[in-house]
Amino acid sequence: MSTALEVGTENCAGPEAGEITPALEEQATDLIARYPVSARSAVMPLLHLWQETFGYIGPRGVEWIAKKLSLQEIQVLELVTFYPWFRQKPYGKFHFRVCRTLPCALGGAGKTFAALQKLMGLKPGTHEGVMVSADGRFSLEYSECLASCGTAPVVLCNDNFHEKVDEKKATELVGGCS
Amino acid sequence: MFLMARREHRLVFKNIDVRGYTRDIACYQKHGGYEILKKGLAMGGAAIRDEVKKSQLRGRGGAGFPTGTKWSFIDPAKTTKPIYLICNADESEPGTFKDRQIIHKDPHQLLEGMILSCFANGVKLAYLYIRCEFTEGWKIMEKALEEARAAGFLGKNILKTGYDLEIYVHRGAGAYICGEETGLIESLEGKRAYPRIKPPYFPAVLGLYMCPTIVNNVETLCNVKHIVEMGGEAYANIGRSNNTGTRLLCVSGDVVRPGYYEFPVGALTLGQLINDVCGGIRNGNRLKAVIPGGSSAKVLKAGEVYKIKEKGLDGKMLDKEVGLEDLRLDFDTLAAAGSMAGSGGVIVMDHTRDMVECLANISAFYAHESCGQCTPCREGVLWLKKILGRIAEGHGREDDPALLKEVADRIAGRTICAFGEAAAWPVQSFISKFKAEFSARIARNGSASRHDTISLLH
């Protein structure tokens, strides 16, 4: 396991535009095959696939998935709006999720969040929803329990997980974003 | 006794953090991995189910329901529909981080336990529902499944026994409610994770795709492997009667050494866990409150004394008075003390922490995670969050504690799933046990009353 302070490889910035490659089609087919009883079960895996490929889930993604699984578009869209992980607009190139639940709060998550806000040039004092920096490089949000309460406070940067992120480590993390 | 108590009994965590132990199948097999699967396949499904029943294993996800009983709702010989098994790896109860260790460091142990459980119950198709925040964990499980398939432990005709089984990983998408088993099933069916109306009380009757389904926690399934290995009776000898086996305990908050530990159920008291195992309260502070089984469990206050019935040496039930630090960490004792062992997540708060702020944080969690299906929960939990927010911000009203209790009382018992109780219990217990602190905070109103003792309020 890598211990270096590196950011993840997840594509959080979009745009949703881009070619639907045969490789993507093949991945989708493989995912659907995991649900021999009901193809509808593949909605969430396909939403993950689309978001990871194109950065976010817009109307184009909803339409593509609905068509693939012979569903109404609303049956796809209602999942996008229900599950907090799915996003309908691009985030920053480097998206940070800071756990805010009690054990992390006791460990100083609020200070970590404030430090990240400052480092990213985001408006201080606010915390509702996702904040994206003006240049689109960074985005930041609070997340609920990330299940690593013994190493609080914890942060997900794109798809890379970091433990015991105090203000110093937060500075290193942001510094490592390039 | 005290020295003994500090020694862990690592069964499920036997290989976790052991120097040189890696998560690949070669290392697992070098340490005896998949040998128990061979033993289990030779024993036959009914014999495995029998051993699990004898072991008195209770589910490790939170409810503590006997696993053998859950399985016995399904008779593989009689049912005509396919039977499914789902491993609940949606670990998201605040304070709990045990399944993460298994998934990251010993994934094949989970798979071996899962394959044994599937075989025992005649399951041919199973899913591992993992929360998507485990961004590395799901890749690890995908790889482990590939390795197991290549080695012939999964797929068609497993180890030439004629038994077929497929297991697939299914990722969640950031919703706590997917840990509720019927919500999880809805999610796996490609829908919003709205928990199902009960009855039927168990997915064993109507589960995934309206077929009999078993949903078990990661730790529970790992224990099945050890039960098959040592036999149900030997397993039941670990721990205490009706509280058998080992338990993974996750300690977080204001202790010197937070972390994950494994002990026989009930082998140590809350005081031993906090003071001996975790090195006491950090920064030389004093203990103020403990949440013993994940954030949904009712809070316990330092200095409290509980009246508990316990079986004496002569077999008669005795009334005993037990202090907080002398509470035995098992299912029955914590239930008798008015809380629960839940998911094994112990959150410790020291005397510098403001209880209004701690509760405001907890209620913000539940307000965010309510699925929105039942009105009392969707509206009520948001009320709880808003009222607690205003008290914490210095705008509390005199009758707010009473209002909080009233709202919480009207959520619990009026919802489809146990989320209603999970959101109400912290509020009910914090308000009744720390009433003076809430009143004092409100009396002090104004911006000067803002402490921010927990680094963030919302």
- Bridge partners of B243, per DSSP, are B240
Count of C-beta atoms within a 10 Å radius of residue A49: 18
Q: Which fold has domain B355-449?
A: de novo design (two linked rop proteins) (1.20.1440)
DSSP assignment of A11-23 equals: --S--S-S---HH
Residue B1 has pLDDT above 70, yes or no: no
Task: Give pLDDT, residue B314.
Answer: 79
Query: What tens digit of pLDDT does each residue of B220-275 get?
Result: 999 999 999 999 999 999 999 899 999 999 999 999 999 999 999 999 999 999 99
Cβ–Cβ < 8 Å for B252, B358? no
To 5 degrees, how large is the angle CA A119–CA A123–CA A128?
Answer: 110
Q: From the candidates B252, B288, B382, which should be mutated to test the interface with A, based on the most A CB atoms within 10 A?
A: B252
The rounded mean pLDDT for chain B is: 94
| Cα–Cα dist B157/B154, whole Å | 8
Cβ–Cβ < 8 Å for A113, A98? yes
Predicted confidence band at B317 (pLDDT cuts at 50, 70, 90)?
confident
Task: Give pLDDT, residue B3.
Answer: 45
Task: Give pLDDT, residue B451.
Answer: 67
Predicted confidence band at B457 (pLDDT cuts at 50, 70, 90)?
low
Query: What tens digit of pLDDT does each residue of A155-165 get?
Result: 999 999 999 99
CA nearest to B275, candidates B261, B257, B262: B257
**pLDDT (average), residues B143-169:** 97
DSSP assignment of B261-298 equals: EEEETTSSBHHIIIIIIS-SBGGG--EEEEE-SSTTSP
Least confident residue range of A96-105, A140-149, B6-15: B6-15
DSSP assignment of chain A equals: ---S--------S--S-S---HHHHHHHHHHHHT-SS-GGGGHHHHHHHHHHHHSS--HHHHHHHHHHTT--HHHHHHHHHHSTT--SS---SEEEEEE-SHHHHHTTHHHHHHHHHHHTTPPTT--SS-EE-TTSSEEEEEES--S-GGG-S-EEETTEEE-S--HHHHHHHHHT--
Distance from CA of A18 to the nearest CA of B (A): 24
Query: What tens digit of pLDDT does each residue of B284-307 get?
Result: 999 999 999 999 999 999 999 999
Cβ–Cβ < 8 Å for B220, B67? yes
The closest CB to that of A105, out of B131, B189, B456, belongs to: B456
Six-digit token string for B264: 């026989």
CA distances from A18 to A14, A54, A67, A120, B190 (A): 9, 7, 18, 28, 26
Predicted confidence band at B2 (pLDDT cuts at 50, 70, 90)?
very low
User: Cβ separation of B173 and A100 shorter than 8 Å?
Assistant: no
Task: Give pLDDT, residue A144.
Answer: 94
Largest Cα separation within chain B, whole Å, is: 73
| Phi-psi map region of A19: left, alpha, beta (phi>0 left; psi -120 to 50 alpha) | beta
Query: What tens digit of pLDDT does each residue of B359-398 get?
Result: 999 999 999 999 999 999 999 999 999 999 999 988 999 9
Task: Give pLDDT, residue A6.
Answer: 66
Task: Give pLDDT, residue A15.
Answer: 67
**pLDDT (average), residues A135-153:** 95
Fold match flag (B2-236 vs B355-449)? no
Give, to the nearest 10 degrees, the angle between helix A22-33 and helix A43-54.
160
Query: What tens digit of pLDDT does each residue of A86-96 get?
Result: 999 999 999 99
Six-digit token string for B190: 């490609």
The domain spans of chain B are 2-236, 245-350, 355-449
CA nearest to B213, candidates B127, B310, B155, B329: B127
CATH architecture of B2-236: 3-Layer(aba) Sandwich (3.40)
**pLDDT (average), residues B181-186:** 97
What percentage of residues in chain B have a pLDDT greater than 70? Answer: 97
Distance from CA of B114 to the nearest CA of A (A): 18
Q: What is the ipTM of this complex?
A: 0.94
CATH entry, B245-350, from 3.40.50.2300, 3.40.50.300, 3.10.20.600, 3.90.1150.10:
3.10.20.600
Largest Cα separation within chain A, whole Å, is: 50
**pLDDT (average), residues A165-173:** 96
Predicted confidence band at B4 (pLDDT cuts at 50, 70, 90)?
very low
**pTM of the predicted structure, to 2 decimals:** 0.94
Residue B449 has pLDDT above 90, yes or no: no
User: Cβ separation of B362 and A102 shorter than 8 Å?
Assistant: yes
**pLDDT (average), residues B433-448:** 88
**Chain A, window 103-162: residues with a beta carbon less than 8 angstroms from a chain B beta carbon:** 103, 105-111, 113, 127, 142-152, 156, 159-161
User: Cβ separation of B254 and A82 shorter than 8 Å?
Assistant: no
Task: Give pLDDT, residue A2.
Answer: 39
**pLDDT (average), residues B404-410:** 97
Task: Give the position of tokens 């926690």.
Answer: B217
State the sign of the Cα–Cα–Cα–Cα dihedral B402, B404, B407, B408.
negative
User: Cβ separation of B358 and A150 shorter than 8 Å?
Assistant: no
Cβ–Cβ < 8 Å for B291, B314? no
CA nearest to A85, candidates A123, A127, A57: A57
Instruction: Report phi then psi at B104, rounded to 5.
Output: -75, -35
Cβ–Cβ < 8 Å for B254, B285? yes
